[in-house]
Chains A and B, each alone.
Chain A
């Protein structure tokens, strides 16, 4: 098979430039409506203004980025090729193996870089509410994506109603917070447990369903929860939602303007600024998301995680191995729902106000798209897909009516180029090493 592959590092500079130019052209086409044009409010009337320099920078970045990316891909492929040739005898098996090993350090590097950026972001943008706020939104989706990844990516149960658990978490906290005076931290585990309970509630009747049938039932479940929230006015406030939900506190210190009680700013003797709360919320969701990631990646390497993946691969074989498929599926539903519930609590605490409108089917679709586009089961893929799916609509904010179009086009493109998702590589949960046992 190696003989058919043109040695990639021998690509001529002209070919590379042509390739990058093509990408820049696409960027230009996309960029004209998204970046080139913007609406300005001049005395009550909306007018269209142009931003050609910004567009030019954008296209330039796309061009340069593509060159670098292409070069990186070629280097990687060339590396792979030499490996392949050196072990021609066991080519087929070794390929799967070696590509895994070479891909890993690069991905680890990207993951650490992403973490570094995430940790330092508020320091660089301490005066920019918009950036911190958008980053918080991205992180909520990252967390939701990681939670849904357990159900869809690992256990292979197509869940179109994930937003229901997000809603259960949010409403549990909203009700506990406004009616019973619970704080964020006490409500967090309770709301998580509540969402997990709903996960089992959904999981139980759908145990025998697979694929499309399961998707339809979960879709219905998501809608049921939303319709209940709209109609059960005494509990949920109906379409008006629930307002003045308590904000999370920093070890008991509230982040609000100085008053009678000690607040965050008065305790630390710094001047009060509303951005403190935003940054605190950002770090809070970052911590929650990282905990989720740590939790899920550890679970994946435990027997239960392997059983989830085995259920995805072949349920009948699982039964023949003595695995109780019912418990395995329910645990996937429960854990996924619990993580969604945690994210919901955070959402309610961040917004201070929730209504059923925040929990529509399109939310479920976005979260599912994040998992599928990122590459089923891939943790880093979820981050990349969240960035794409949250930032893309943000960039196209002025053209709200075309957002979904753009969104759909981006998804189609990713699925054409990368049918398995942005990162479809699967890292084994354990390896055999020749010197005794594995790691």
Chain B
């Protein structure tokens, strides 16, 4: 792809071992800025483990994850604890099984995402306790940012509703909105289209394209819904049994025999190839 510029994130020879299980095996991947990189693979291929290694929730057994941060320079994500990956490196993730703060309102969820900036502005609660003007300004700015995202993701009607009371599709959007409030450089979405209906999936496509194209946020996308992945990804990486088996553009991936084999099995793949040949 864009080999001229240095990649935003480069994963090199990443290996994650749980006892005897090799969850990720010697995987390397580059993620370019302002692009959507899809990570696909059958169930249990190691996609979520890959995300966990990236975002500090797991410490990889071997390998490195390097982020080329525009302001802070080169950062080694595998050495950072999870909260610093989000706070300092601005690599923010969502979860496969949605993790909102269910009893807090949607707006509060988005305010929690801006905790570090606000906590700093509140003078570690002292300035906030006395309601000093500086803190009030910071809080108003944080509210504006949260409300801005809520409006753009069509969630503003639900701003004061407890997040846990909302339907599934909406919770997915809230989780993305909340991640966006952390000001991500790289947004890691773990199956954002799971449980969405076709219309919601189509809206998600538009949103992702907008975020990468207009907002300049690089997106790393784990997804099973091919209508989403093939549609929005600039680049796709396919995992199977923890190994990277293919990488390339969506059209390239769709024709890759290894990928077809991984998804459809040996015989089916043969049949499909025959079918393609005869047509």
| Residues on B with beta carbons closer than 8 Å to the beta carbon of A431 | 105, 107, 159-160
- Given A313-B103, A320-B99, A322-B87, also A306-B165 (CB < 8 A): no
- B116 and A320 form a contact (CB under 8 A): no
| Residues on B with beta carbons closer than 8 Å to the beta carbon of A429 | 108, 111
- B104 and A93 form a contact (CB under 8 A): no
**A323 to B129 alpha-carbon distance, docked (Å):** 20
Cross-chain pair count, CB within 8 angstroms: 141
Of B103, B112, B113, B144, the most chain A CB neighbours within 10 A belong to: B112
Does chain B have a CB within 8 A of A299?
yes
- A438 and B93 form a contact (CB under 8 A): no
CB distance from B82 to the nearest CB of A (A): 4
- Given A307-B112, A317-B100, A323-B116, also A437-B83 (CB < 8 A): no
CB distance from B81 to the nearest CB of A (A): 8
Does chain A have a CB within 8 A of B58?
no
User: Contact flags (1/0) for A145-161 with B, using CB distance below 8 Å?
Assistant: 00000000000000000
- A322 and B159 form a contact (CB under 8 A): no
- A303 and B107 form a contact (CB under 8 A): no
Among residues 89 to 109 in chain B, which have CB atoms less than 8 Å away from a CB atom of chain A?
92-95, 99-105, 107-108
CB distance from B30 to the nearest CB of A (A): 23
- Given A324-B83, A437-B140, also A314-B125 (CB < 8 A): no
Of B88, B102, B111, B156, the most chain A CB neighbours within 10 A belong to: B111
Among residues 421 to 438 in chain A, which have CB atoms less than 8 Å away from a CB atom of chain B?
426, 428-432, 437-438
Does chain A have a CB within 8 A of B37?
no
- B86 and A313 form a contact (CB under 8 A): no
**A324 to B124 alpha-carbon distance, docked (Å):** 13
- Given A303-B122, A313-B102, also A93-B165 (CB < 8 A): yes
- A322 and B115 form a contact (CB under 8 A): yes
Chain B: how many interface residues by the 8 Å CB criterion?
Answer: 54
CB distance from A250 to the nearest CB of B (A): 27
Q: Which of B92, B93, B122, B179 contacts A302 (CB 8 A)?
A: B122
CB distance from A434 to the nearest CB of B (A): 9
- The residue on A at minimum CB distance from B130 is A298
Chain A: how many interface residues by the 8 Å CB criterion?
Answer: 35
Does chain A have a CB within 8 A of B119?
yes
Among residues 53 to 77 in chain B, which have CB atoms less than 8 Å away from a CB atom of chain A?
55-57
- B125 and A304 form a contact (CB under 8 A): yes
**A298 to B131 alpha-carbon distance, docked (Å):** 9
**A366 to B118 alpha-carbon distance, docked (Å):** 36
- The residue on A at minimum CB distance from B106 is A432
Q: Which of A96, A295, A430 contacts B111 (CB 8 A)?
A: A430
| Residues on B with beta carbons closer than 8 Å to the beta carbon of A302 | 122, 125, 128-129
- B104 and A306 form a contact (CB under 8 A): yes
Does chain A have a CB within 8 A of B178?
yes
- A437 and B55 form a contact (CB under 8 A): no
- A321 and B115 form a contact (CB under 8 A): yes
CB distance from A372 to the nearest CB of B (A): 16
Does chain A have a CB within 8 A of B205?
no
Does chain A have a CB within 8 A of B273?
no
- The residue on B at minimum CB distance from A101 is B160
- The residue on A at minimum CB distance from B146 is A432
| Residues on A with beta carbons closer than 8 Å to the beta carbon of B107 | 428, 430-432, 438
- The residue on B at minimum CB distance from A428 is B105
| Residues on A with beta carbons closer than 8 Å to the beta carbon of B88 | 322
Q: Which of A92, A306, A319 contacts B86 (CB 8 A)?
A: A319
- B101 and A303 form a contact (CB under 8 A): no
| Residues on A with beta carbons closer than 8 Å to the beta carbon of B55 | 320
| Residues on A with beta carbons closer than 8 Å to the beta carbon of B56 | 319
Q: Which of A90, A306, A319 contacts B83 (CB 8 A)?
A: A319
| Residues on B with beta carbons closer than 8 Å to the beta carbon of A295 | 129
| Residues on B with beta carbons closer than 8 Å to the beta carbon of A410 | none
CB distance from A315 to the nearest CB of B (A): 10
Q: Which of A97, A306, A314, A322 contacts B108 (CB 8 A)?
A: A306
User: Contact flags (1/0) for B136-166 with A, using CB distance below 8 Å?
Assistant: 0000100110010010000011111110011
Does chain B have a CB within 8 A of A325?
yes
- Given A93-B166, A303-B128, A310-B101, also A321-B178 (CB < 8 A): yes
CB distance from B161 to the nearest CB of A (A): 5
| Residues on B with beta carbons closer than 8 Å to the beta carbon of A415 | none
Does chain A have a CB within 8 A of B182?
yes
| Residues on A with beta carbons closer than 8 Å to the beta carbon of B113 | 321-322
- A438 and B182 form a contact (CB under 8 A): no
Q: Which of B82, B104, B115, B143 contacts A428 (CB 8 A)?
A: B104
**A309 to B111 alpha-carbon distance, docked (Å):** 12
Q: Which of B124, B125, B161 contacts A93 (CB 8 A)?
A: B161
User: Contact flags (1/0) for B217-248 with A, using CB distance below 8 Å?
Assistant: 00000000000000000000000000000000
Partner-A contacts on B (CB < 8 A): 55-57, 81-88, 92-95, 99-105, 107-108, 111-116, 118-119, 122, 124-125, 128-129, 140, 143-144, 147, 150, 156-162, 165-166, 178-179, 182
Given A93-B161, A321-B179, A437-B143; 17 other pairs, CB 8 A cutoff: A93-B166, A295-B129, A302-B125, A303-B119, A313-B103, A316-B99, A318-B83, A319-B56, A319-B81, A319-B82, A320-B86, A320-B99, A321-B83, A321-B112, A324-B87, A428-B107, A429-B108
The 3 closest A-B pairs by CB, nearest first: A322-B87, A322-B86, A432-B159
